[in-house]
């Protein structure tokens, strides 16, 4: 269980680093476009990047089951938003892949630490 918790936290940090340090790449991967200002890049760095880095670092630092459950809730929140988009906005292969990854991290992180 401990090794899975660490893997989930490191995965959060690693994926978050893309949004934080490579926002243009992340914009492209998510089919997003830059607007007239740099606000879009700022939002990617914050919500797709450092939010996930902070979640992973916080879970590792605290190292408690509750911290890893919260990490799982965050990933499940992303999965819920993704599933909502699939239902309301239309499905795509990319959306399903992202949903599966988000759920595959979130659900076990919660179940293993309750």
DSSP 8-state code for residue 92: -
Instruction: Give the pLDDT confidence score for residue 79 in this predicted structure.
Output: 97
Q: Is residue 85 over pLDDT 80?
A: yes
What is the 3-class SS of 1-65, one letter each residue?
CHHHHHHHHHHHHHHHHHHHHCHHHHHHHCCCCCCCCCHHHHHHHHHHHHHHHHHHHHHHHHCCH
Cα 12 off chain centre by: 6
Taking only the tens place, the pLDDT of each residue in 54-74 is 999 999 999 999 999 999 999
Taking only the tens place, the pLDDT of each residue in 2-59 is 999 999 999 999 999 999 999 999 999 999 988 899 999 999 999 999 999 999 999 9
Query: Three-state DSSP class for 71?
Result: helix
Q: How far apart are CA 63 and CA 3, in angstroms?
A: 11
Q: How far apart are CA 40 and CA 34, in angstroms?
A: 6
Q: Is residue 1 over pLDDT 90?
A: no
pTM above 0.85, yes or no: yes
């Amino acid at each position: 269980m401990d090794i899975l918790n660490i893997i989930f936290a490191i995965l959060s940090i690693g994926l978050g680093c893309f949004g934080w340090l490579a926002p243009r790449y992340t914009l492209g991967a998510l089919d997003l476009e830059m607007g007239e200002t740099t606000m879009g890049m700022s939002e990617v760095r914050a919500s797709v990047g450092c939010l996930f880095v902070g979640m992973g670092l916080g879970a590792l630092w605290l190292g408690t089951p509750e911290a890893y459950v919260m990490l799982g809730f965050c990933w499940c929140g992303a999965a819920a938003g993704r599933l909502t988009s699939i239902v309301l906005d239309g499905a795509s292969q990319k959306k399903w892949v992202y949903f599966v990854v988000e759920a595959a991290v979130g659900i076990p992180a919660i179940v293993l630490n309750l």
